[in-house]
Amino acid sequence: MQQQQQQHSQQQQQQHSKQQQQQQHSKQQQQQQHSKQQQRQQHSMQQQQQQHSQQQQQQQHSKQQQQHSQQHSQQQQQQQQHSQQQQQQHIFLSVQQQQQQQQQQQQQQQQQQQQQQQQQQQQQQQQQQQQQQQQQQQQQQQQQQQQQKGRQLTCLLQQQMQQYLTKAAAAAQGGQLLHAAAAAAAAAAAAAAAESHSSTYKQQLLQQQKC
């Protein structure tokens, strides 16, 4: 009986130890499972964090790209504005140059017109001088002709007077008083004609000089 009891107690102890072992094993399994779950959760969290960090990096990269594109567009706009300003300046300068050229051309034309007017005035003055010279020459020629005519007439009258005087002297010597008186009268008439002719000639000269 005692042996049976001992055996029974041993069996119970063995069973109890088995149960304890089984419990320990189950606890270990549970712990292992729990640790695996924790590891999985940690791994999933790490993955999520990595994904989140990647998303943030991608967002930052996209923002940087957008900023870069904006900067590039701003640079392009600035370049366009600069080119437009240069074009406007070039147009303004070209317009100024054209205006200056037109002003210079107008000034040159005015100078040419003034020179032409001066030349015309000089030509007119020369023509007037030539006309005056011609008039003076004509007057001198007329005066010379009149002087020659007057001289010729005075010479003729003097010759006639001498002829009458010689006739009067010859008649007086011959005793022909009538012939002498007639010759003297003719000589006196010739002298009077000569004086009147010379006086009229002098008056004509004075009038011409006054003109």
Report the amino acid identity of residue 75. Answer: Q
Confidence of residue 203 (pLDDT cuts 50, 70, 90): low
Per-residue model confidence as pLDDT tens digits over 46-92: 888 888 888 888 888 888 888 888 998 899 999 999 999 999 999 99
Residue 182 lies in a domain: yes
Residue 4 lies in a domain: no
Residue 180 lies in a domain: yes
Residue 47 CA to residue 183 CA, distance in Å, equals 175
Per-residue model confidence as pLDDT tens digits over 80-127: 999 999 999 999 999 999 999 999 999 999 999 999 999 999 999 999
Residue 48 lies in a domain: no
Residue 207 lies in a domain: yes
Contacts of 164 (CB under 8 A, 6+ apart): 183, 184, 186, 187, 190
Structure tokens at 188: 């006196």
The domain total for the chain is: 1
Under DSSP, the state recorded for 41 is H
Residue 203 CA to residue 78 CA, distance in Å, equals 102
Domain region containing 175: 139-211
Per-residue model confidence as pLDDT tens digits over 16-55: 778 888 888 888 888 888 888 888 888 888 888 888 888 8
Structure tokens at 6: 């001992």
Report the amino acid identity of residue 18. Answer: K
Residue 172 lies in a domain: yes
The answer to whether residue 179 scores a pLDDT higher than 70 is no
The answer to whether residue 182 scores a pLDDT higher than 80 is no
The CA R_g of the chain, rounded to the nearest whole Å, is 78
Residue 168 CA to residue 63 CA, distance in Å, equals 155
Residue in the structure block whose two tokens are 């007077």: 161
Confidence of residue 211 (pLDDT cuts 50, 70, 90): very low
